[in-house]
Amino acid sequence: MAQKVEIVIDGKTVEMPVLEAAEGLNVIDVRGLIKEGMFTFDPGFLSTASCDSRVTYIDGDNGILLYRGYPIEQLAENSSHLEVCYLLLNGELPTQAQLDAFIGDINERMPLDDHFKHIFDGFTENSHPMSMVCAAIAGLASLFHEQLDISDAGYRKEAALQLIAKIPTISAMAYKKSIGEDFVEPDPSLNYAENFLHMCFGKRGEAPNISPTLSKALDKIFILHADHEQNASTSTVRMAGSTECNPFAAIAAGTAALWGPSHGGANEAVLDMLLEIGDVSKIEEYVEKAKDKDDPFKLMGFGHRVYKNFDPRATVMQSSAHAVLEEQGASNDPLLEVAQNLEKIAREQDYFIDRKLYPNIDFYSGITLKAMGIPIPMFTVLFTLGRMPGWITHWTEMVANPFKIARPRQLYLGEHKRDYTNIENR
């Protein structure tokens, strides 16, 4: 039965419909409220659904994450990142022929135009790779602006393929620039994760030499990051995209939003934190700092807006971390010991239990990436690479349907109208 919610404004009863979710909480449709002369107030969107979507579902209380209905654990175990990209974009798993064609489409678009590579010349070797990646993604807008037509399904598909294909190349080039080495071109005989590792760690002119354990672990990391419904960066992509801007520019905006330590930048921040703690003997001191309201320090890699039980991505990540650490002979890494003890101590304390603060994906991805030999400033770049299909799928979902420009309102608390005073009278 259709539910309704009533509120009383100055004695007048206003009815608001309740929209039924396929899974999870229903939502009160407040769109008609403006006619009654009021807005809702929800900074940080704690109680607000910003859109409807059919892509990804999270049940934060039960630690469930579904891409197009499929549990993340099953996808991480059985699928490949490109198959997941296809699933997110198209809503269904591909047949073998569809997957082969999709892989061909991606491989074809992986190389960057020679003139475009000069975008990296503007950066120094000390530049943060995320800044190079943001700039290069925004730069792609210039290559695909002439034919810009977001109402054309063909254009939208091409934009999605270009972004998924070019992000490993851009990311690897940002890395090569940061270590002052020549770029390595993509190799169509390699799979997606292998190609990225080859472009990062291979040498120009040398045959690829990739560990299957590492490429499998990396592919899994990409799958785990592929989408996460309306998080800050995806919402940024939708918000920018709602102005009908170039999709490459909208994705660049999302990339910038991802960089922050509260979001995708947390994987880098976790490693910085573990290095700062340095030794198990100092864990208690840092846990106390995290609990102290007067200290801005937070335990990076802990907590999540939606997951209030466990982060299912962290569980998969933890088991994948062990395979990598073993292969790399890093099982005795003192940082791992610090991480494991930190998790144990934090999990036992009321402060974290009461606030439902559990390790999130970034807690273990950082340790795994470090063991793989990925430099710390590249961690958030890998998150960007993984999240690309999610961003472009959400952008596509939005622009392929009727949408409005995102234009939130505010609760104004500033000065009332007042007259300008000349400078000599102030």
- Residue ranges binding ligand CMC (CB under 6 A): 228, 231, 262-264, 266, 290, 298-305, 355, 357, 360-362
Q: Toward ligand CMC, which CB reaches closer, 240 or 269?
A: 269
User: CA geometry: angle at 250 spanning 247 and 252, to 5°?
Assistant: 110
Q: Toward ligand CMC, which CB reaches closer, 233 or 242?
A: 233
Q: Which residues have C-beta within 8 Å of that of residue 170, sequence separation ≥ 6?
A: 112, 132, 133, 136, 137
Query: Which H or E element spans position 297?
Result: none
* Least distance CB 154 / ligand CMC (angstroms): 32
* Least distance CB 124 / ligand CMC (angstroms): 28
* Least distance CB 337 / ligand CMC (angstroms): 20
Q: Toward ligand CMC, which CB reaches closer, 231 or 255?
A: 231
Going by C-alpha positions, the residue among 173, 379, 394, 343 that lies closest to residue 263 is 379
Tell me, what DSSP letter sits at residue 67? E
From 304, 333, 350, 354, the catalytic residue: 304
Please indicate whether residue 263 is annotated as part of the active site: yes
Q: Toward ligand CMC, which CB reaches closer, 302 or 364?
A: 302
Burial class (CB in 10 A: 0-12, 13-18, 19+), 14: middle
From 362, 394, 416, 419, the catalytic residue: 362
Buried residues in 305-317 as b, exposed as e (16+ CB within 10 A): eebbebbbbbbbb
Q: Toward ligand CMC, which CB reaches closer, 157 or 298?
A: 298
* Least distance CB 302 / ligand CMC (angstroms): 4
* Least distance CB 284 / ligand CMC (angstroms): 15
Inter-residue contact 288 to 342 (CB < 8 Å): no
Please indicate whether residue 228 is annotated as part of the active site: no
Please indicate whether residue 145 is annotated as part of the active site: no
Amino acid identity of residue 160, one-letter, is A
Torsion sign, CA atoms 110, 111, 113, 117: positive
From 219, 263, 311, 394, the catalytic residue: 263
Q: Which residues are catalytic, by number?
A: 263, 304, 362
